[in-house]
Each structure stands twice: as C-alpha cells, then as structure tokens.
Amino acid sequence: MTRFLILVLVLFLAAYLRLNSLSKNPPGFYADEASVGFNAYKILTTGRDEHGKLMPVFFEAFGEYKNAFAIYPVVPLIAVFGVTETSVRLAQVIFGLLDILLIFFLGKALWSSAVGFISAFVLAISPWHVHISRFIIESHNAFLLFVMAGVLFLVLAKKNNWKTYYLVLSAIFFALLFYTYFATRIFTPIFLIGLLFFWRNDFLKLFKKYPKRAYLGIFLFLFILIPFVLHMASGKGLIRFNQISTKNNFTGSLNLYLKHFDPKFVFVYGDSDYPGQQIIRHSVSGMGLFYKWQLPFFAAGLLFLIFAGKKEKDARIIVFLMLALYPLGTVVSDATTPFATRSVIGIVPYSLLVAYGIWRVFGALKIAPLKLILVILIGFASFFYLNRFWQLYKTYENRAYGYAGFQYGAREIVEYFLSSDYQIKILESGFDGAQAYLNFYSMGNCAGCYVSDPAYTDASVRKLIAVSVDNLDAFGSRYEGLVVKKIYYPDGREAFYIFEATSLNSL
C-alpha cells in the first residue's frame, strides 16, 4: 500500500508540472500543433483529414507526413473538451504520465522496485520530459512509451520462459513505434538488431523450444508494419528525411554525435542555450535537460553498471544500447547542434542511469546515518532545482513567444479576421505554416483568409494584412496601410500590426 501511494504521489506531482497553465505556457501555439489539432477535428467531424482522405494512417502536412499517434489520440480529447490548445496538448500530457508509469515497471524489471520508484521520480521532475509533455510537435511521448513497453514485455518474456502474451505485446509495441515519430525509423531497427545480436543465444533457444511463439511474434510485428512499409515504398515516407537530411561530412556527423554526450548539453545548457542553437522551442532556457545534482549519480550509474555482475547483463545491454543510439535522430538531420526533440529517446537511459546510480550509492553506504544524510541531500537538491526550474518555466512564457519559439499571436489575429467583413484577410508573416493557424482557429471557416495576397495588383480590394513587427519594412515596400489593430506578446511587447491595406506603392 505504501509503495502504491508513493507512485500515486509521483504521478500527481508529474501531472501538476505538466498541466499547470498548459494553454498559456509554452506561449503561443506552434504550426505543427495547429495542424495536429485541425486534422483531429476533421477526423472527429468527417472521418477524413484536411485533404479529404478517409481515416489515413499518415497525415499529409507541410509537404511531408505526420504519424498516426500524433493525430488520433487528440480526437477524443477534442470531442470532450472542444477545439482548444489545451485539448491538443493534453494528449502529450497523458502519454507523458504513462511514460512515468512504464519506466517504474521497466526499472523494476531490470533491477528492483526501488530503482523503479526512483526512475519514476527522476522522469517526473525531468526538465526534458516535463517540457516535451507540454506541447505536441510530434508524438514524442508515445515514442518513449512504446519503446519502454516493447523492452519491458521482451524482458518479461525472457525472464518467464518466453510466455506468449509477453512476446505478443512486445511485438505489437515495437511495431507501433514506427507510427509515432520520424526518429524511430532510425533508432528502432538498429536497436532491435542490437538486441538480436547480444541476445542471439537466447533467441536461438526461443526458436528451438517455442517456434510457434517466435513466429507468432514475428508475424504480428510484420503484419502491423504493412502500412508503414507501403508508405516507405511509395517514397512518401522518405520526404521528411529528404527535407532535413544531413549536409555534414563524416567528421561533422561524428562531432555532432559526441556533443550529445557533452555534460554541458544534458546537465547545464540543454537544447535552447547550447552554443550555436537558434531555436528556443526545444527546452527551457537557463537549465539543462536534467539537473546538475544528478550528474554525479549518472556517472556513478555508468560505472556501477559497467562493472556489474552477470545478473545485470540484460540491463547493461538495454541501457547502453539506448544510450549509444539516442543521438542518431539528430545526427542524420541537418542540425549542427544537439536537438532535444530528435534525440528524445535519451530521456529513458539517462533517467534509468541516474536512478540506478542513486540506488547503488545508497546501497554502498553501510552506516544508517549516512544513508539518511544522502536521502536528505537528494530531497533538498530535488526541491531546490525543481523550484528553480518551475520559476524559469514561468518566465519562459515571456521568452519563447517569438518566431524561434512558439510563434504567439495567431489566435488573436484569426479572431480579429473572423470578426471583420473585409474581402481579403492575409496572415502574411511571422509564422511557419500560416495556413494551419487559419484552419485551426476558424475550424476551416475563415472566409477570405489567405497566407499570401491573391489580388496584389488590384488596389480597389479592401484587405486586412497581419504583419509581424519584424517585417514592417518589407510590408512598407509593397503596401500603404493604416494600423487598425495591434497584437501584443505576453510581456507587453508589440508582436503584430493588422493593417487595412488601402493602396499599393507600386506594381
């Protein structure tokens, strides 16, 4: 009962950190979120996506395709709570809470209940995981959930004489991974090949002793993958890769890979503050992806696991394989700095190693007062750093609203457009994928709304044009207009001017 209560309390803490002010922070609503929300709304109301395709597995958006687990989990939430930013983001929160539950069971299966509880707590307060649980560019948390579920059930199958239902569940979750996030298409095949190699003797015994179980798992895995294979064979599944594929040479790719293991990336700067990074969407400024106090325990976990006995061989293989492969999602892309989103799977091995390090250090202390001191120190450090993180997160609302952040202002602009009777209303600048915002905030009913001027040469047409304050000079070179509305960022700075375009300067 006590253990159950501890887990419940951890989940309550995690829920608070992920739900508090969810609609306002991160500030704004990124284009991918708007696209996810509008497609979920279309599935709910018509059974088709924004392009009219009936219940697709892959959703066309921004010249590429989004995965099923980014869209379908949002559908029931919109049905219950309406078409709001909170409804769209809530799916990530739910998956995030399930991640915490799964890492408890994974830590327990690999080591003990104690490691499971510590892992759940580490993940619950992790700045990396808290942040990605509060927005939905892609289904990152479903990716984490299915990786952990696949590994968990495979470990349980191996420990329990290859029971059929464990094998079946593992095969299902590993197959579903391919429908969560682009990075899994790189991580998952290599990870599974790695497990096959390191556990080759165990798998050979499985095929010899229980061939029907083995072939059932393989059949289910391949059957679920059929839509994915067809998607890849059509070339559509490679579009995203072609959009972001690396331009680095081998040396550049190797350097980028190694940067992911730089303690400054994980424990000090995070993604947003890492030297050379321009985007501030991916982590909270002012703090690492994990806390500085956790670095010694991560190092201890690494050392203890390297030198652990045969009983911990499975844990060593799984954790180190995940750790070695986690940067690949970023390395194959056009990034020049580590990305917390593309390398999101790193959350799992880092959380497990920090928890394992705490457990082993605690066990190495033979004197009860020293154990108590360690617990008190960890408690104080957790409280201090969590409080600091939360204060930084509150200020994040006033830092991540611009173009490199979550592009605040679209809702206010579209609401103004909907209340006006102008023939043409243009969301001209300041956003990626501006059409997604027009669709989401009007539910596809913004009459006369455009992302570019369809009547540029016709000076007689009355137009409303929303322009970012950063693009006023470009606007002034093409239009003459009167400001009829100003949109402000959360900190009071001017964000957008909405003009009534009265005439053209020149043709």
With a cut of 80, say whether residue 496 has pLDDT above it: yes
Please tell me the predicted confidence (pLDDT) of residue 243: 65
Same domain, 388 and 357: yes
Same domain, 204 and 281: yes
pLDDT > 70: percent of the chain? 97
Give the pair of three-digit tokens for residue 191. Answer: 């990870």
Same domain, 188 and 331: yes
Pairing of strands 494-504, 479-488: antiparallel
pLDDT digits (tens, 9 = 90+) for 156-206: 999 999 999 999 999 999 999 999 988 888 999 999 999 999 999 999 999
Q: Which pLDDT band, with edges at 50, 70 and 90, does 247 fall under?
A: low
pLDDT digits (tens, 9 = 90+) for 50-83: 999 999 999 998 878 888 999 999 999 999 999 9
Amino acid at 485: K
Same domain, 205 and 233: yes
From the list 258, 260, 266, the residue with the least C-alpha distance to 298 is 266
Same domain, 381 and 422: no
Same domain, 175 and 299: yes
In a domain, 404, yes or no: no
pLDDT digits (tens, 9 = 90+) for 121-164: 999 999 999 999 999 988 788 889 999 999 999 999 999 999 99
With a cut of 50, say whether residue 233 has pLDDT above it: yes
From the list 80, 86, 68, the residue with the least C-alpha distance to 22 is 86
With a cut of 90, say whether residue 48 has pLDDT above it: yes
With a cut of 50, say whether residue 506 has pLDDT above it: no
Same domain, 312 and 451: no
With a cut of 60, say whether residue 495 has pLDDT above it: yes
Same domain, 258 and 314: yes
Task: State whether residue 64 is helix, strand or coil.
Answer: strand
Last residue of a domain, one of 369, 395, 421: 395
Same domain, 374 and 415: no
> Angle of helix 347-364 relative to helix 313-325, nearest 10 degrees?
140
User: How many domains does the chain contain in total?
Assistant: 2
Q: What is the mean pLDDT of residues 216-228?
A: 96
Please tell me the predicted confidence (pLDDT) of residue 308: 93
Across-strand partners of 482? 500
pLDDT digits (tens, 9 = 90+) for 326-362: 999 999 888 899 999 999 999 999 999 999 999 999 9
pLDDT digits (tens, 9 = 90+) for 279-291: 999 999 999 999 9
Same domain, 386 and 431: no
Same domain, 132 and 204: yes
pLDDT digits (tens, 9 = 90+) for 388-428: 999 999 999 888 999 999 999 999 999 999 999 898 999 98
pLDDT digits (tens, 9 = 90+) for 89-120: 999 999 999 999 999 999 999 999 999 999 99
Q: 190: domain range?
A: 2-14+26-395
Q: What is the mean pLDDT of residues 228-237?
A: 88
In a domain, 20, yes or no: no
Phi/psi-derived region of residue 458, left when phi > 0, alpha when psi is between -120 and 50, beta in every other case: beta
Q: Which pLDDT band, with edges at 50, 70 and 90, does 469 fall under?
A: very high
Q: In the predicted model, what is the mean pLDDT of the chain?
A: 92
Same domain, 336 and 390: yes
In a domain, 44, yes or no: yes
With a cut of 70, say whether residue 507 has pLDDT above it: no
Pairing of strands 424-427, 463-468: parallel
> How would DSSP label each residue in 252-310?
HHHHHHHHTT-HIIIIIITTTTSTT----SSS-TTS-SS-GGGHHHHHHHHHHHHT--G
Last residue of a domain, one of 337, 365, 395: 395
> How would DSSP label each residue in 23-34?
TTSSSS--HHHH
Q: Which helix (H) or strand (E) holds 494?
A: strand 494-504
Across-strand partners of 245? 333
Last residue of a domain, one of 395, 419, 454: 395
pTM: 0.95
